Amino acid sequence: MTAGAADVELRVAGAALAAECARYAGMGWMRGTSGNLSVVLGRDPLRLAVTTSGKDKGELTDDDVVVVDERGRAAGGDGDPVKVPSAEAGLHGRIAAVAGAGAVVHVHALAPVLAAEFWPGGVELRDLEMLKGFGRADHDVVTIPVVPNSQDMGVLGDAFEAGFRPDVPALLVARHGVYAWGADLRQARHRLECLEWLLRFKVETRRDAR
């Protein structure tokens, strides 16, 4: 790929990521610059376009994106020192590699964090129509894995991989947020939206709810 074609590819990815971030920010899921989204640009070697760090996610442009490798390190791109990939890009890379995802979304919605607080061993979901939006039958028992929070993406990645199941495209990070993924940004969004609903239902109907 020529430098010009690579730049166009990155701009297209940046525009898609900015549009998705604006939707999530509007839902209150990316408060105070939190959260990050990525799309896979290539797999050999793995390259992802990920949102830059420290920007208001409701105000991103197609330029607020940086290319990272499978460990979340800035790779290629325009080498702009001002553009720093999200510190969480390393987990995006790990999820894309292990799950084969084409897009990974990470937000700081409240319901997933509450659910992880109540069920730190994993959140069990069943008998809910909305599971279909997660790609499962409503009578399936689906357990969303929970991992402890860490600032070390290697530690988080190892914990993710240890509990990974190909049929559960999401991960809760305790006291932090949620990751969801899919073939593309649209599928990842639909899964995240449905999962947030499922987790909110689970939290609000728990037996000891007051």
> Contact positions toward Zn ion, by CB under 5 A?
177
Rounded to a whole number of angstroms, the minimum distance from the CB of residue 149 to Zn ion is: 9
Peptide bond before residue 166 is cis, with ω within 30 degrees of 0: no
Residues 89 and 68 sit within 8 Å (Cβ to Cβ): yes
In the complex, the smallest distance separating the C-beta of residue 209 from Zn ion, rounded to whole angstroms, is 26
Closest to Zn ion by CB, 157 vs 177, is 177
Does the CA dihedral 145-150-153-158 come out positive or negative? Answer: negative
Please give the Cα distance from 189 to 179 (Å, whole number). 11
Taking the least distance from each CB to Zn ion, the nearer of 177 and 182 is 177
- Residue 91: closest CA among 72, 110, 114, 75: 72
Minimal distance in Å, beta carbon 114 to Zn ion? 16
| Residues 81, 157 contacting (CB under 8 angstroms) | no
Closest to Zn ion by CB, 14 vs 177, is 177
CB of 99 vs Zn ion, minimal distance in Å: 18
Q: Which residue, 106 or 136, is less far from Zn ion as judged by CB?
A: 106
